[in-house]
Structure 1
Amino acid sequence: MRALALAALLASCAAPPTHVQTTLYLGRAIPAGGVVDDRAVEVFVADTVARHLPAGFTLIAGTGGWRDTGTGRTITEPTLVLIVLHPSGERGPVEAVARAWAERFGQQSVLRVELPVSDLRF
């Protein structure tokens, strides 16, 4: 019984992760029509992403899919996946990038996924 209580106590005292990985999924389909072209992406990365995330980031091109709740159809679109490692609790710069993408390209939302990083080495 004592061992179980000690294990529970130690588990509850585990230090929170010092860093998190946030992934932003940036859809390139423009709701009013068209697609965010490569030049617009280059400009956005240079003037927004690099400015807010000077410590570094990874940008991956892909294709995303989502279900249109109005029609029930699955919609696919070119997507950028932006991966950022940052200190826990410092979400401001990543949020600024997500807001800027949504505003600049008329997006309803930007999907964000945040995961704790248990082992970070350089």
Structure 2
Amino acid sequence: MKRSLLVLILAALLGGCATPLPRAGWQRCELFFGFAIPGGGEVSAGDWQAFVDGEVTPRFPQGLTVLPAQGQWRNAAGHVEREPSRVLVLLLPDDDAGASARIDELRSRYRERFRQEAVGRACTAAQVVF
């Protein structure tokens, strides 16, 4: 009798220590920013940080991740371009109705500011826990 009570108490205590399960209802959006500027040069570290501070953070103040990358893609003229890049990762709740428009604003601002042909976007369903 005592043993089964001990097992029950331990099970209850250990259940409280479990990591919460990831919740559905989120998106993981990745944006791909090339750093090569047409005609020569690259987006500097200072210019990138100014873009993050002035454009990204105000639109997504709840958080973000930036990963350094080396990108490759085929441009509109059919040439393979290789360049330093950054991947911006955003985790967004599905009920954030304005998120898609804010992402497209970022893409447009970056293309205009740094004369880019494109900024890639990939969004997938995600299960998230913090």
Q: Same fold (TM over 0.5)?
A: yes
**CA offsets, 1:36-68, max 9 Å, x none?**
011101111111111111011100111101124
- Which amino acid in 2 is paired with 1:65? Q
Q: Which runs of 5+ in 2 are unaligned?
A: 1-23
Within the alignment, does 1:82 sit opposite 2:88 as a pair?
Answer: yes
Greater mean deviation of Cα atoms: 94-103 or 40-49 = 94-103
Q: What TM-score comes out, normalization by structure 1 length? A: 0.77
Cα separation, 1, equivalents of 2:49 and 2:87: 14
CA-CA distance at 1:92 after TM superposition: 2.0
- Which amino acid in 2 is paired with 1:120? V
Identity of aligned residues (%): 30
Q: Which runs of 5+ in 1 are unaligned?
A: 1-16
Q: Which has the larger radius of gyration?
A: 2
Aligned residues: 104
CA-CA distance at 1:73 after TM superposition: 4.1
| 2:100 equivalent among 80, 91, 116 | 91
Cα separation, 1, equivalents of 2:62 and 2:113: 23
Cα separation, 1, equivalents of 2:105 and 2:76: 27
- Which amino acid in 2 is paired with 1:84? L
Q: What TM-score comes out, normalization by structure 2 length? A: 0.73
Match runs of 1:1-122 below 5 Å: 18-68=25-75, 70=77, 72-88=78-94, 89=97, 90-117=99-126, 119-122=127-130
Which ranges of 4 or more aligned residues in structure 1 deviate by more than 6 Å?
A: none
CA-CA distance at 1:69 after TM superposition: 5.2
